[in-house]
Structure 1
């Protein structure tokens, strides 16, 4: 606890999409599109984000996950000096930078695979990949077969039990730490990686940079298998992601509450003491505004994202309420080209942007939200309240998914007399251990208590939308 990553609010960038790079990397020229990202850093700071997850960045053939060269920034984005400057500018603003680590597979244009194509049984890289069989063939008619990620034969599965592969990848990680001063890695397909490989990665990166963060993409399963003192610091919380939108679409807060109770309840939560990476959308799933039946529910959704246990993340463009959906196998709808000035001028959801900024201010330095235990206080299908408590600090959040306002009496699990709404001056008087809260339709409140000074500050979605 108390680490930068457990206290962070992330901003997630898929750079090939945001910068409008060509879909295929076929040109020899390096195009310095990444320089455009320099102007995004103040915007990210103003949102209240303290870390950036950006990737994939490695030189690749198409979408970024079919790596050609692990030590070069993709020429469609720029060069290594461009990214070095990006990290430096982010660090000057107090923003950490985490990159994608694509270590489960490579693309077919990676040097080791090309050597096998050329030298077959005589290749010194023949043990670098899983399932190499010179008696078979591949869909690309290579004259040999190999194991591919989910039968996508443009992605060739690496053999992470081969010492030479591990040494190479650890050298890559050391290069990115020393060359660019990155602060962490998001491990693509972490649920496919060898556990021993991740344990060795944890040991090595901790020695190189003691506060280096490792977060894994894990969709299904028991997250505690990956998140522990030997392996990763965090994983993606896809279980909560599903509940955040369907719990609103179905007017069923029991789904969200059950997920959190199972994961983080102070009495028996299976991930209690661990910090997972929370999100409402990313480069692989539909935008939250495309998933919600009632677009106004985006306000309580983001309030929950920031105040429930977890490390909150905002996916680029969603602060402006943009929409985007996967169309069959086509991910382009979730990974659009965006121009910062145009997005700010044409923002049709200014209230949402203000709401996310307010949540960023609330989250920053608030120990109750970064270290606090979780306690459920009130639950119906359409209203839900809980507390996050850390020592003498507490935050009580209440949300409403109804299309009508709701009044609720919410227990206050700390000793305090009253609170003041930081935006309107409205006071929340604590009477008989409760506060009376008026929740606007599709609205929320988050009431902060400091027991020592017995002050309460609060904000509501209604407040930031005026």
Structure 2
């Protein structure tokens, strides 16, 4: 794993939505829209939030939402052109921000040039997987307009290697690989064996929903995968008043950390926003306290740090509510989001002051349905530790844990004299000042 990525904190942006791009590709006669410059105006905001990387959703030429790629070598004209990309990457680098690109290499749009030749060119047809029975081309999870690539075809491997190499050479720091779970892990290994020698510091994270994360990382050669198990356990345990689910997920998480640092999150472009998902708004801080005090590589989905609401729905356009346009600059944000923004800054600051948390293992020294103590420690230096106390009960809770020499570093409110006493629906993080 690239050394810089061990301490990355990503600000995740879905560019087509963020910049208010048209919902479908521009006609060829239309001029390029230079919307990446809009995003450029938010880079200082990401730095001030405490992030060290910009995780971008799709920026390549596509038919609609970005995951139906037409040309992997062209910036989507709704966002800009090569010059806009180069300018944005340079501006990010000037601020110390790494840039992570979204690689959609499991499937392409039906308008992808090679697919348009498939019915008349056997060489082109070999790029695409046939559906069971061989009567038609296979698709991604039943979406007719998303045609599945055949990852056993050498030409597909060559294409993906060229794409990765091209944009890493243009200044990207790595790739988030969309729908990696649908791609045989050996494909990524073969690709990375060719890409890594030219870009040894690049970081590669795959989108994997469930299953044996560690085995997938081992077989694929990826640096990381998305930690959906922990994401679900965080909001579900808070909603249900069942911290046993979180404790189980953290035990699994510790096991993953033996092999790799998972990409952790409490929100992204594909799920209902945290502020809408939680049944009790008082528990937002609890979710963030977990995210920023357990091991992994955290990502903050743009807008979550402002308490944005948005429910994902299973219908056409059902992602729109979680992928809204942002104002021209941070000055256009509603003042209502400032408390959540300050909370993010505080907890990200805590994370940055304790960089060893990237590889921390988290024990649970005290556990009940509605109260949990999480002890995160550096496996190489056990003296480095933080204690996160979570209480979702209607009454204050005194945790029966050893806290000698520990002080409240962050909390949901004014810290009581007793560091082990947490108010109703409160949380605190203890450590050595």
Shift of 1:407: 2.3
Answer whether contact 2:294 2:361 (CA < 8 A) is retained.
Answer: no
Equivalent position SS for 1:23: coil
Answer whether contact 2:239 2:278 (CA < 8 A) is retained.
Answer: yes
What are the ranges of 5 or more consecutive residues in structure 2 without an aligned counterpart?
none
Q: Which residue of structure 1 lines up, in the alignment, with residue 148 of structure 2?
A: 157
Q: Which residue of structure 2 lines up, in the alignment, with residue 305 of structure 1?
A: 291
Q: 1:398 to 1:113 in 2, by over 3 A?
A: same
CA distance, structure 2, for counterparts of residue 334 and residue 158 of structure 1: 28
For each residue in 1:368-403, what CA deviation from the matched residue of structure 2 results, as whole angstroms up to 9, or x when unmatched?
412223222211111111222221321111112224
Q: Which residue of structure 2 lines up, in the alignment, with residue 452 of structure 1?
A: none
CA distance, structure 2, for counterparts of residue 159 and residue 95 of structure 1: 35
2:59 aligned to 57, 60, 66, which one?
57
CA distance, structure 1, for counterparts of residue 192 and residue 84 of structure 2: 28
Answer whether contact 1:126 1:132 (CA < 8 A) is retained.
Answer: no
CA distance, structure 1, for counterparts of residue 333 and residue 299 of structure 2: 23
CA distance, structure 2, for counterparts of residue 328 and residue 417 of structure 1: 50
Within-5 A mapping of 1:30-429: 30-117=32-119, 120=120, 122-131=121-130, 136=135, 145-178=136-169, 180-228=170-218, 231-264=221-254, 269=255, 271-329=257-315, 330-339=318-327, 341=329, 345-390=333-378, 391=381, 392-412=383-403, 417-419=405-407, 421=409
CA distance, structure 1, for counterparts of residue 227 and residue 217 of structure 2: 11
CA distance, structure 1, for counterparts of residue 409 and residue 108 of structure 2: 53
Equivalent position SS for 2:11: strand
CA distance, structure 2, for counterparts of residue 188 and residue 5 of structure 1: 19
CA distance, structure 1, for counterparts of residue 235 and residue 368 of structure 2: 17
Shift of 1:37: 0.7
Shift of 1:25: 0.3
Between 363-372 and 25-34, the greater mean CA deviation after superposition: 363-372
For each residue in 1:58-106, what CA deviation from the matched residue of structure 2 results, as whole angstroms up to 9, or x when unmatched?
1000010111111011000111111111111111111111011110111
Answer whether contact 1:60 1:66 (CA < 8 A) is retained.
Answer: yes
Shift of 1:206: 2.1
TM-score of the superposition, structure 1-length normalised?
Answer: 0.86
Equivalent position SS for 1:37: helix
Q: Which residue of structure 2 lines up, in the alignment, with residue 447 of structure 1?
A: 430
Q: 1:126 to 1:403 in 2, by over 3 A?
A: same
Answer whether contact 1:15 1:56 (CA < 8 A) is retained.
Answer: yes
Q: 1:234 to 1:405 in 2, by over 3 A?
A: same
CA distance, structure 1, for counterparts of residue 427 and residue 90 of structure 2: 37
Answer whether contact 2:25 2:62 (CA < 8 A) is retained.
Answer: yes
CA distance, structure 2, for counterparts of residue 343 and residue 36 of structure 1: 13
Equivalent position SS for 1:398: strand
Q: Which residue of structure 1 lines up, in the alignment, with residue 25 of structure 2?
A: 25
CA distance, structure 1, for counterparts of residue 321 and residue 284 of structure 2: 19
Answer whether contact 2:106 2:149 (CA < 8 A) is retained.
Answer: yes
Shift of 1:409: 3.2
Answer whether contact 1:73 1:83 (CA < 8 A) is retained.
Answer: yes
Shift of 1:211: 1.8
Shift of 1:205: 2.8
For each residue in 1:126-161, what CA deviation from the matched residue of structure 2 results, as whole angstroms up to 9, or x when unmatched?
21111189984xxxxxxxx21111121111111111
What are the ranges of 5 or more consecutive residues in structure 1 without an aligned counterpart?
137-144, 429-434, 449-455, 458-466
CA distance, structure 1, for counterparts of residue 230 and residue 406 of structure 2: 32
Between 163-172 and 385-394, the greater mean CA deviation after superposition: 385-394
Rg larger in 1 or in 2? 1
Answer whether contact 1:205 1:212 (CA < 8 A) is retained.
Answer: no
Answer whether contact 1:30 1:77 (CA < 8 A) is retained.
Answer: yes
CA distance, structure 2, for counterparts of residue 4 and residue 110 of structure 1: 35
Shift of 1:175: 0.6
Equivalent position SS for 1:171: helix
CA distance, structure 1, for counterparts of residue 49 and residue 143 of structure 2: 37
CA distance, structure 1, for counterparts of residue 134 and residue 195 of structure 2: 40
CA distance, structure 1, for counterparts of residue 276 and residue 77 of structure 2: 32
Q: 1:427 to 1:294 in 2, by over 3 A?
A: closer
Answer whether contact 2:50 2:345 (CA < 8 A) is retained.
Answer: yes
Give the length in aligned residue pairs. 425
Shift of 1:340: 5.2
CA distance, structure 1, for counterparts of residue 399 and residue 218 of structure 2: 39
Shift of 1:229: 7.8
Shift of 1:43: 0.5
TM-score of the superposition, structure 2-length normalised?
Answer: 0.92
For each residue in 1:184-228, what CA deviation from the matched residue of structure 2 results, as whole angstroms up to 9, or x when unmatched?
101111011122211022222321221211101111211012223
